[in-house]
Amino acid sequence: MSRPNFDFPGFNDLEGFITLLSDTRAIFKEEPNYQELPLDRPIVFVGDTHGDIETTEQIFDMFFGTHLIAMLGDYVTRAPVEHGSIKNIHYLFEVKRSHPEDLILLRGNHETPDHAGIIEIMLDLREFGVDAWRNTSSTLYGTFSDMPYVVSTENGLLGLHGGLPDIKSVRGLKLVPKGIEGFPNNGEGLPAHYQTALQILWNDHVATDEPLITLDGSKKEKGNSVYNYSRHTGRLYNQHHFNNVMSLLGKNVLVRGHDYNEKGYAFDDRLLTIFSASKFVNHGNLKGKYVAVMDDPQKELKTAKELRIVQL
């Protein structure tokens, strides 16, 4: 099967674009935030595409129709082509609307209104007209707020955008509600599930089993999970935190995107960072732009090395 063809129609059909957002939002709303994936066919995991519509099309040419396509967030900003952010979102939402069972679109930290990187898609939306863009952007934020956060497979894998949050039980992960648009004050003073959602989208790891220390004087912390001073949000964690949360969740392998500097394997090959956009190919311990394929979802997965890396 070849990929569905949805060329971006340009900026003359505002109503069509708004309808696409609302239709897609209705589908996201029905999906649980912690989603068990069906195991009836191979699954391809896709990292950040960041407005790289050409790479997105390449991925759908290669895998659509034969594989479940599970994308781990960050579809907008840093586009290598003009209007790449809106073209990428448009294509992915059209496929989601027409083939909801064949594509999973998780939320990334760029799919939030309070991230500075969102500006690029806002500039794209302005092309619909200055009067229209406020309405369009609030519809877009709403759609983003209902995107799911986590995918899980019974054979031992967990997929999400950023990292493992500080949680005490699986419940903490499963109870993240729909509709959190943004994270004012980094979620401080807000209910616990805001902090969980924020951390899923923003957290990173450091490939060490030593305790971590924040370098931010105002938030002195030392431990297995500490405030992320370099991103000014989310948390950094080490192997102890990773092992603890993974055993709490009963999972062996974590696949995530988010941090191109950590592309590749960590923590005894149980964590894999993937990045699919054409920028940043030279970063990390696994070079290139790539996806990770689970050829046999029925077979128990012990390490991320059992996933097949496909360079794009």
Residues forming the site for Mn ion (CB under 5 A): 74, 108-109, 258
Which residue's CB is nearer to Mn ion, number 156 or number 257?
Answer: 257
- Residue 158's identity, in one-letter code, is L
Minimal distance in Å, beta carbon 137 to Mn ion?
A: 20
Position with the least CB separation from Mn ion: 258
Minimal distance in Å, beta carbon 110 to Mn ion?
A: 6
Which residue's CB is nearer to Mn ion, number 277 or number 301?
Answer: 277
Instruction: Pull the structure tokens for residue 268.
Output: 């005894």
Which residue's CB is nearer to Mn ion, number 108 or number 297?
Answer: 108
150-153/157-159 β-pairing: antiparallel
Which residue's CB is nearer to Mn ion, number 83 or number 161?
Answer: 161
Minimal distance in Å, beta carbon 73 to Mn ion?
A: 6
Given CA atoms 43, 49, 55, 56 in this order, what sign does their dihedral have? Answer: positive
Are 144 and 182 spatial neighbours (Cβ–Cβ below 8 Å)?
no
Minimal distance in Å, beta carbon 18 to Mn ion?
A: 26
Minimal distance in Å, beta carbon 115 to Mn ion?
A: 9
For the chain, strand residue ranges (E) read 34-36, 43-46, 68-71, 103-105, 150-153, 157-159, 204-205, 212-213, 222-223, 225-227, 235-237, 253-256, 264-266, 271-273, 290-294, 308-311
Which residue's CB is nearer to Mn ion, number 49 or number 214?
Answer: 49
